[in-house]
Structure 1
Amino acid sequence: MTVFIASLFLPYTVNFHVENSRYRAVPPPPTAVNNAGVDSAPPHPNAGASLFEQNNPKPQQGLTPGATTDHERIFTSNPGQPEKEEAGYFALPTIPENAESQLLTESEGHSPAWGATTSLNQPKPQTLLSPSPSILKHQDPVMPNKDPAPKTPEAKPANPYLGVIKPEMFARKQSFSRADWTVETAEQGNGGLRNAVRSAKESGYLGELMWVGTVGMPTDALINYTRTEIAEKLEDEYDSLTVFVSDGDFDGHYTHFCKTILWPVFHYQIPDNPKSKAYEDHSWIYYVKLNQEFAERIAKNWKRGDSIWVQDYHLLLVPAMLRKMLPDAEIGFFLHIAFPSSEVFKCLAPRKELLEGILGANLIGFQTTEYCRHFLQTCSRILCVEATNEGIQMEDRFINVGTFPIGIDPTSWDKRRKAADVERWVDTISDRYQGKRLIVSRDKIDSVRGIRQKLLSYELFLNTYPEWADKVVLIQVATSTTEQPELEATISDIAMRINSNHSTLAHQPLVFLKQDLAFPQYLALITVADALMITSLREGMNLTSHEFVYCQDGSYGDKKYGSLILSEFTGSASVFGNHALLVNPWDYRQCAEAIHTALTRDEKKKKEVWEALHRAVLQNSTANWVKSFNETLTRVWNEQSSREIMAVPRLSTPRLIERYRQSTRRLMIVDYEGTLASWGSPRSIILTTPQRAITTLTELTDDPANIVYVMSSRMPEEMERLFRQVNHLGLIAENGCFVRKPDSDEWSNLADKHSIQKWKTAVSPILAYFKVRSEGSWVEERHCSLVFHHGSAEDRLSAGRLAAECADHINDACAGHGVHAIPVEGALIVETSSTNKSSAAAKVWKWSLEDSKQNEEVSKPDFLLIIGDNREDEPVFRWANKLEDAKAVDYAMTVTLGSRSTEARATLTQGVTGVLSCLQQLAAPAGTNSTQQ
């Protein structure tokens, strides 16, 4: 079995060695690919620069604005090392002394923008077409840049450049197609996911796997032959299936839709400018196109028994696309970022398409319970489907939804921290800031990371507690972006103001680095820090906090048990709970006090808190995350597959008759609406039951060995009128709230009258509110339920949306009353959640056992038959199946008439006619001919 892991970026990319291949004539045949090593490259003019300079290009651009820079020079220059590191022009970042530690990837992405890498030699994106920023022109057609990837590997052309007309295109394709290349670790992508997969594979939790994704670089400059070469090498040697799309398609998908539309909305930053609207209309077609490419690539390589795991918001449509192509596939989806509330999500124009895309999966995973709940509410409101704590009930299938918080890989972190380069940086930073208290932060400069709020809080702390001004240093590492220059300018102004007001000749309270650090520097920094401060306005799961906690054990530095100041709006807040100093980033006073608390805690308290945080980190490791998700996916897929209507066999009537006649006492419970009789109008005044059903039930109840019950959603008085002609018949009314024994006039109320009246009083005004807004709708009051009928509304579409919103509101507001709202076709049923058809069936079963105990001549039932047709019958199917599995009854058969996924063990395809025919054959005397249904 192969596990396909679909992520936008592969863990690997390609580095082209253009300079040392300048005079190469043509690409070699596939059997003799010469992927030249880096040693043959000509030396760079700066060869011999230190490891730290190589890993921090252009250091002069990242210094704190308006401040003395001596305090931060150590992060951008060689700290007086005697040895020199020789490297070629095309050399990768220097491999640490411990080669195994190189396997670890940074969990939080701080990679350069797509097509803007500086450490690897790769093609640059061609000029891409963007929509007009004017709202008046946003619907103008935009012609995409089409350069489709090869669908099948093609043979080496006699002249690989034949047909290229543009001179600049010829030069670009010629240079990169002639060049040697090597496969390297990619800068782009989800580092936490890569670490998790690697850790799970090493732990034996993952077997054979195959990555699916793009190579993380522009590819229009490559001829088809070079692309094929790269794809073959990645598949054969790196277990990676490459998805090639044109630069224009990728830019439209990633830059315009994912980053401009989806990323802000999922982090509660609603785009409200004309440019966003233009980009949404323009880029949606590219989002769909790239998702389709992924789905087709996976479907082409999938084999029965394989599992598919789709990752993150870039590929929201892939699960549904795969479900259409591979109906029986085992598909999981995990969202690494936050999921917003329904009020925010519904601002997206393609909201319905995105939700339906995700719901193609068998299992949908989120980082926290909050995101999971938001998703369930959003599906309920927008798609008008039933949402339960376990997942989403669609018309034909059930989709499980769960919480699976990701973490870090402690084993790999231990290996990486032992490297000599990390140890040198620990010593360097400790010496430089000796006697100072260090607060560390590392974020991208964007609107959701909360850098502005953090600096304002730090400024307030320095103003409130001036005695700390010369004792504390905040080192803010901020990866610069080009999308929000206004925010970057604002942050720079705050940084200048802090240092202007609080700096001395000997001390600078803020070090603001507008560049990223090399990995060894980052590890050393969180090792020697006294506190880590994270003020994200919204974030799926901040793994920097996990890494900080793990590095604070004191194994590789003098400091330990540092405090964690954490935004309550991060997923990590749900993992660490109150053990971290949780703050609201918008509350500057609270953040300032949290800084003061972190700096003044005594050692005993720090150790106590750190130990609790450390336990949480170990419990939520990457290997456990992969294992938990994959095991759950396999389990729910097996459960869902067993419930698929195609997997449920037809009822064998001869076999049923045989077991019926072998039994001594039989319990039969049959649904009424849609099973014994076609569904009638809820407003029908004249209640009648077809004569054939009356006759069949009479024949069954005339046998003293039979106990027959009819269950329905109708009220008790209606059931009495419907079946007054049938003697010895038991009745179950209002979906299990009322039960009447055979030959009895008294109804047993299984629901609590007081609690029902209490929640009815609370729910009735809510239904009245939505009824007024749905012209033509009406509310029916039953003894134990309320039904909001909206199928006859003048605007059925609008009424359906209001009913979904009503269901979501009731399920949220009235959950404490033991009530839930279930959307069905044309209606919304509000009923008690503690009583259903299965509880009524259990009551009937208990009575039958009591009868056998009280009367020795009456045996307990050894034959159980349940027949139903809709979702409300699923609980009683489940109850009967468990009864047989527990050996409480010799034989139990559950039968459904529906075409949806079911827990019934057999199906009848002839509808009401098939049910009556089957029951008539059971009631017929022995020796009567029977036909298989």
Structure 2
Amino acid sequence: MSRLVVVSNRIAVPDGSKVSAGGLTVGIVDALKTTGGVWYGWNGNINEIGEDDDELSMLEQDGITYASFGLNQNDYDLYYLQFSNAVLWPAFHYRLDLVNFQREAWEGYSRVNKLLAQRLLPLLKPDDVLWIHDYHLLPFAAELRELGVTNRIGFFLHIPFPTPEIFNALPPHAELLEMMCDYDLLGFQTESDRIAFLECVSLLTSLQTEGKQHRAFGNRFATEVYPIGIEPDSIKEMAEGPLPPKMVAMKRDLGDAQNIIACERLDYSKGLPERFLAYEALLENFPQHRGKIRYSQIAPTSRGDVQAYQDIRHQLETEAGRINGKYGTLGWTPLYYLNQHFDRRLLMKIFRLTDIGLVTPLRDGMNLVAKEYVAAQDPDDPGVLVLSRFAGAANELTSALIVNPYDRDEVAAALDRALTMSRTERISRYNDMMAVLRQNDIAHWRKTYLQDLQALKPRSEQENEEKKVVSFTRLA
């Protein structure tokens, strides 16, 4: 079996700690253990400009080579902050108003992708299969092809892919699309993302399509949908068992109150301000719940050095104070806003104790929190998932209460329905969703993608076939 080389912006280098790894990390590590291979990416270190940052840090463990590197401050600013997170992230989440395009940042993004390809090249073997992850590395295959790499190279996009009206507004959209067609297999979370990508390509150049096989810019490539999953049994194990003392006290303090939980990193794509307003609409439209419920929003800061994230944090703090001031009493605080990180194992136990999981992003590639919330529930007395129609998970978890996050009254009505739903209905919806989670778990996602990638002919064989066709045509 060919060796697997995984490339991602950040990699999880083993450090001996007992912090529980996320499902994606577990899926990648399991794949690498099966085939042996390399996980290559940024280690999170930012070096001073002028420091020697060319040397890779190598660690061997369980048949996996972890090859990591640092970025200097200039490359971090341009490649990571200014282009990946101030251009691609907002655009791919349909927020063109937050896009801050600078030509220098695009050049920095391109330069870092070229540099990373050059650093990886000495580690590659002729029959390696490469699996590249996410929006930070859209040009990566093209840079490898420039260096003569003909291995199979697959790409998986973890976030949405925008429609042509959005994507084509990016000044380097043509260059990005052509570079993406240098991958052999492009994987997306949903069918709408896959179609959006192909529509963008077809507006720019001739696109020949036969099933899921395509030809554009002189390259042959495939596209497919691979909705990413979780490890349901692992989540269940974390959620079960004795509670830490603090959680025992929390459960006691809640008493008979029903608890609504929401947890995601602080990001404008998650619809947090809209969610706060929907909760306010619940208190206003359904006053019978006042004093009997509590909404806990966990939103740890991410990308705190990006202005848009600083703005949303201030907005949420203001809204939480206003709502609590308007509806709270001496004995009841309606909304708890926690701008801090919680250990993943503890979160799963919190999910199990809560009555409603509120997951209402404005746009999301998948949203694994929605799946984790369901998997963490007590099968005999499960909570209810209220889920945005704009999360990729809504295509699979159709037994959740699906809502439009822009319609605060609709979300409020769904919360009221969840708060009053019978146990029989809750169990039925839970069983439906768990059947999906078990069928499409993280192992299924990984195996399906890699089987499809392995089935494709490497670029070297494609080129040889085309040469034979050309030679035969000339002889004829």
TM alignment of 1:209-248, pairs within 5 A: 209-220=37-48, 224=52, 228=55, 231-233=57-59, 239-248=65-74
- One-letter code aligned to 2:21: T
Alignment-derived partner of residue 90 in structure 2 = 264
Among 312, 320, 331, the alignment partner of 1:495 is 320
The 1-side partners of 2:258 and 2:463 are apart by 64
Conserved? CA contact 2:79–2:109, under 8 Å: yes
Tell whether the 8 Å contact from 2:46 to 2:70 is kept in structure 1 after alignment.
Answer: no
- Residue type at the aligned position of 2:3: T
What is the deviation of 1:9? 1.0
User: What's 2:464 paired with?
Assistant: 646
**Contact kept? 1:426, 1:527, Cα under 8 Å:** no
Once the two structures are TM-superposed, the CA of residue 396 in structure 1 deviates from its matched residue by 3.7
Q: Secondary structure at the match of 2:317?
A: helix
| Pairwise CA distance, 1:574 | 1.0
Change over 3 Å in CA distance of 1:298–1:649 after alignment to 2: same
What is the deviation of 1:438?
0.6
What is the correspondence of 1:575-724 to structure 2 with a 5 Å cutoff? 575-577=396-398, 579-637=399-457, 644-647=462-465
Counterparts of 1:325-336 in structure 2, within 5 Å, are 325-336=147-158
Specify the code of the residue in structure 2 equivalent to 1:601: M
Aligned partner of 1:544: which letter? V
Alpha-carbon spacing, 1:291–1:234, altered in 2? closer, same or farther (3 Å): farther
The one of 113, 119, 137 aligned to 1:297: 119
> Once the 2 structures are TM-superposed, how far is the Cα of residue 426 of structure 1 from its aligned partner?
4.6
Distance (whole Å) between structure 1 residues aligned to residue 451 and residue 439 of structure 2: 17
**Structure-to-structure mapping, 1:375-524, within 5 angstroms:** 375-387=197-209, 389-394=211-216, 396-417=218-239, 423-424=244-245, 426-480=247-301, 481-482=304-305, 483-484=307-308, 485-524=310-349
Which among 361, 366, 389 is matched to residue 568 of structure 1? 389
Aligned CA distance change for structure 1 residues 246 and 488 (closer, same or farther; 3 Å):
closer
SS at match of 1:444: coil
Query: Aligned residue for 1:151?
Result: none
Letter in 1 for 2:28: V
Structure 1 residue matching 2:362: 3-state secondary structure: coil
Kindly indicate whether residue 355 of structure 2 is the aligned counterpart of residue 530 of structure 1. yes
The Cα shift of 1:304 comes to 1.5
Superposed CA offset, 1:876-916 (max 9, x none): xxxxxxxxxxxxxxxxxxxx5xx4xxxxxxx5142xxx32x
Q: Matches of 2:122 and 2:434 in 1, distance apart?
A: 44
Give the direction of change, closer, same or farther, for the CA distance of 1:440–1:597 in structure 2 (3 Å limit).
Answer: same
Deviations 1:910-932 (A, max 9, x none): 2xxx32xxxxxxxxxxxxxxxxx
* Greater helix proportion: 2
Q: Provide, for residues 81-100 of structure 1, a one-character-per-residue CA deviation record: whole Å limited to 9, x for no partner.
A: xxxxxxxxxxx97x4xxxxx
User: Structure 2 vs 1, CA of residues 397 and 233 (structure 1 numbering), >3 Å: closer, same or farther?
Assistant: closer
Structure 1: how far apart are the matches of 2:433 and 2:360?
18
State how far apart, in whole Å, the 1-side matches of 2:70 and 2:62 are.
17
Give the secondary structure class of the aligned counterpart of 2:57: helix
Shift of 1:383: 3.0
Query: How big is the shift at 1:238?
Result: 5.7
**Structure 1 residues 396 and 260, CA gap change in structure 2 (3 angstroms):** closer
**C-alpha root-mean-square deviation of aligned residues, in Å?**
2.6
TM-score using structure 2 length: 0.92
Amino acid at match of 1:491: L
After superposition, the C-alpha distances for 1:87-145 in whole angstroms (9 at most, x for unaligned) are: xxxxx97x4xxxxxx4x324xxxxxxxxxxxxxxxxxxxxxxxxxxxxxxxxxxxxxxx
Q: Separation in 1 of the partners of 2:240 and 2:332?
A: 31
Alpha carbons 1:13, 1:216 under 8 Å: kept: no
Kept in 2, the 8 Å contact 1:460–1:592? The answer is yes
Aligned to 1:6: 7
Matched, 1:360 2:182: yes
SS in 1 for 2:46: coil
- Checking the alignment, whether the CA contact within 8 Å between 1:564 and 1:580 is kept in structure 2 is yes
State the shift of 1:467 in Å: 0.9
Tell me the matched-pair count. Answer: 471
Change (3 A) 1:406 1:523: same
Partner SS for 2:435: helix
Partner of 2:371: 546
Deviation track 1:180-237 (CA, whole Å, cap 9, x = no partner) reads xxxxxxxxxxxx43121134456xxx3112101111121238964x985x71446998
Deviation per CA, 1:29-77, whole angstroms, max 9, x where unpaired?
A: xxxxxxxxxxxxxxxxxxxxxxxxxxxxxxxxxxxxxxxxxxxxxxxxx
Partner of 1:682: none
Q: Aligned partners of 1:291, 1:574: CA distance in 2, in Å?
A: 33
Going from structure 1 to structure 2, the CA distance change for 1:576 and 1:272 (only over 3 Å counts) comes to closer
Tell me the distance in 2 between the aligned counterparts of 1:597 and 1:413.
26
Cα distance, 1:358 vs structure 2: 1.3
Distance 1:532 1:508 in 2: 19
Question: What is the CA–CA distance in structure 2 between the aligned matches of 1:295 and 1:396, rounded to whole Å?
Answer: 22
Structure 1: runs of 5+ lacking an equivalent: 15-91, 96-101, 107-191, 651-895, 900-906, 916-933
| Alpha-carbon separation, structure 1, partners of 2:70 and 2:391 | 34
Deviation at 1:493, TM superposition (A): 2.5
Residue 213 of structure 1 contacts residue 243 of structure 1 at CA under 8 Å; is this kept in 2? yes
RCO comparison, higher one (Cα < 8 Å, 6+) = 2
Query: How big is the shift at 1:425?
Result: 5.2
1:327 Cα deviation after fit: 4.7
Alpha carbons 1:478, 1:513 under 8 Å: kept: yes
1:392: how far off?
2.6
| Amino acid of the structure 2 residue aligned with 1:214 | W
CA distance in 1, matches of 2:5, 2:135: 17
Rg comparison, structure with higher value: 1
* Partner SS state of residue 45, structure 2: coil
Answer yes or no: is the 8 Å Cα contact 2:141–2:183 preserved in 1: yes
Distance 1:649 1:496, change over 3 A: closer
* Structure 1 residue 637: Cα displacement: 2.8
Residues 748-798 of structure 1 show CA distances to partners (whole Å, capped at 9, x for unaligned) of xxxxxxxxxxxxxxxxxxxxxxxxxxxxxxxxxxxxxxxxxxxxxxxxxxx
